[in-house]
Amino acid sequence: MPKITDAKVIVTCPGRNFVTLKITTEDGVHGVGDATLNGRELAVASYLTDHVIPTLIGRDAHQIEDIWQFLYRGAYWRRGPVTMSAIAAVDVALWDIKAKLAGLPLYQLLGGASRSDVMVYGHANGATIEQTIDEAVAYKAMGYKAIRLQTGVPGLPSTYGVSKDKLFYEPADAALPTENVWSTAKYLPTVPKLFEAARKALGDDVHLLHDAHHRLTPIEAARLGKDLEPYRPFWLEDATPAENQASFRLIRQHTTTPLAVGEVFNSIWDAKQLIDEQLIDYIRTTIVHAGGISHLKRIAGLAEINNVKTGFHGATDLSPVCMGAALHFDLWVPNFGIQEYMRHTAQTDVVFPHAYTFKDGALHPGEAPGHGVDIDEALAAKYPYRPASLPVNRLEDGTLFNW
């Protein structure tokens, strides 16, 4: 058996913070898993170092399922983003090792390729509708077949998804949370105007997406969904907070705009009612925040029998390790929908050498054994951790709101 002899957590900040778990077997084979939880990085690092790693040493690296069950059922305190990100890191590192030992790219172990490549969506954003459309035109020229549109809202100094850097996006912009201001009344009429302008400029042969980032009530989301219908959006994301999964019944009754939810979910239980009742069209759970490949297989399986497709989260705060693992999953999973692809900076990319490549609006995970992503430890050590928090939102009268 390939015995686990070493495991360590590497925290690095090549432009932004990433937490990576590296597991090594007695034969010297190693695997890596992403454990980054934006703004809570050190909590996961401590969970791994203090509570998980001591229990891994000496185990058989091939027993991925048993180790997953040990860390989930055996912990008594189940679920939650910190626990599930730590489990995900172990799971992905072990799948990486298993595939390397087999001499195969990971997607072959999952069941082989179901498609030639993985359609991704990029992010067009700007302070005004005109700027966002210019960005979207540039994305289309780069070959993207799917583009997310976010624009500034007149009367609000800043809003979610509108960034200074065009290809990258970093909302964790200060050591302590920045306070933003929100107004749903100002936002709601802006988005249909954006989509109308986008369809005029881009035509019909490109998918258009939008993220409401948990800011609407169900009836407001229903209104927005109806208003967007003439422009045939690919999806409306995170229309309302999903702690109350039944909220989506109301949205569903009113609009045919497809709904995507789940980037903040960390287990199948967060999505069960949404999927069972076919209240959503795309499930956005990620490898890193929802228990790794082993758990996403269960979520995707439940989704498949309920006509829900995958549309995994792929923001800059999910490391290249997570992206690599997600691409292997996407290439295999039968009910694939789309993959989010927010690019990493060149500084991040060199710390995480990777086999995946972009061409014609799609990514391919490559043919390297394992998931094809590694970490350059010597380079990583040059970028020490820097505290960074996600913003908070307040309404114009000061009431604390969802960000």
Kindly list the catalytic residues.
160, 213
Question: In this structure, how many other beta carbons lie within 10 angstroms of the beta carbon of residue 295?
Answer: 21
Helix-, strand-, coil-residue percentages of the chain, each rounded to 5: 35, 20, 40
Show the binding pattern over residues 63-102: x = contacts ligand KDG (CB under 6 A), - = does not.
Answer: ----------------------------------------
In the complex, the smallest distance separating the C-beta of residue 313 from ligand KDG, rounded to whole angstroms, is 6
Site for ligand KDG in 130-189 (CB under 6 A): 171
Residue 2 near residue 370 (C-beta atoms within 8 A):
no
Residue 211 interacts with Mg ion (CB under 5 A)?
Answer: yes
Torsion of CA 282, 286, 222, 235, to 10 degrees: -50
- Considering the complex, state which of residue 40 and residue 62 has its C-beta at the smaller distance from ligand KDG: 40
H/E stretch holding 107: helix 106-110
**Contact at 8 Å (CB) between 296 and 93?**
no
By the rule CB under 6 A, 317 interacts with ligand KDG: yes
**Selected range binding Mg ion among 119-127, 134-142, 255-263, 328-336, rule: CB under 5 A:** 255-263
CB closer to ligand KDG out of 9 and 172: 172
Identify whether the C-beta of residue 248 lies closer than 8 Å to the C-beta of residue 274. Answer: yes
Tell me the C-alpha to C-alpha distance, in Å, between residue 69 and each of 79, 278, 308, 397: 12, 28, 26, 47
Q: Which range of residues in 94-102, 223-231, 311-319, 343-351 is near ligand KDG by CB under 6 A?
A: 311-319
Binding-site size, ligand KDG (CB under 6 A)? 10
Q: Does 38 bind ligand KDG (CB under 6 A)?
A: yes
Minimal distance, residue 3 CB to ligand KDG, in Å? 36
Q: Residues 258-287: x/- map of binding to ligand KDG (CB under 6 A)?
A: -----x------------------------
DSSP sequence for 230-284: GG--SEEE--S--SSTTHHHHHHHH--S-EEE-TT--SHHHHHHHHHTT--SEE-
Binding residues (CB under 6 A) for ligand KDG: these are 38, 171, 211, 213, 263, 313, 315, 317, 340, 390
